[in-house]
Structures are given as C-alpha cells and as structure tokens.
Amino acid sequence: QSVLTQPPSVSGAPGQRVTISCTGSSSNIGAGYDVHWYQQPPGTAPKVLIYDNINRPSGVPDRFSGSKSGTSASLAITGLQADDEADYYCQSYDKSLSARVFGGGTKLTVL
C-alpha cells in the first residue's frame, strides 16, 4: 500500500531493455513534484540513479534514463547487464502527506 505504485518484479535477458513504472496521483507526481530513482543491490544502501525526473548523476551510465508524464514516471534500462540485478525504487513528494514518499520497489532479475 505504497503511495507510489511499482510492479513488484521485472526481468530481461542480457542486452535487452526493460522499463519500470511508477504511478502516483494528483497529490504527488501529478502535482508537479519531481521523481527520483534509486538502485539498491542486495545488502547495500540505495544509490541515486536518476534525479529530478531525467537527470543522471555523474558516474551513472547512460543506459539508465528517466521520464515523467502526468501522474506517472518510468525508469528505462537498456543493454541489461548481470550487475543491474537489484531493487529499484521511485521517490517523490506528496503534498497531502507533507512527506517524501517511495514506491514499493521493483526487483529486477537479469535472466
């Protein structure tokens, strides 16, 4: 029952492209608040992949890209690699809750 909804899991073969959706509402993404994406490999702390909807921090490969439209956002990963296996979380701000909110997380499996 996260405020932002993500698919529990996605998978793809090495080299393929996958997308992870993040659906919110008029109280968060639809209200114009930015969406950020994090990658969390097993047993490690999260790391920002995409910030302010589309921006990549230095050091993040351009295989990762973000987009936002209406009340949703998406993370796309091209050229899948084995070390992309991780949990991915979207995050935004909700004006009704006056708080940061996260998606429930998506587990990416590289087949």
> Which residues of this protein are in contact with other proteins, per CB under 8 A?
2, 33-34, 36, 38, 40, 45-48, 51-52, 57, 87, 89, 91-93, 97-105
- Min dist. Cβ of residue 44 to other proteins (A): 8
Looking at the Cβ atoms of 77 and 90, the one nearer to other proteins is 90
- Min dist. Cβ of residue 62 to other proteins (A): 18
Looking at the Cβ atoms of 45 and 82, the one nearer to other proteins is 45
CB 94 within 8 A of CB 5: no
Looking at the Cβ atoms of 1 and 13, the one nearer to other proteins is 1
- Min dist. Cβ of residue 108 to other proteins (A): 14
CB 88 within 8 A of CB 4: no
- Min dist. Cβ of residue 14 to other proteins (A): 26
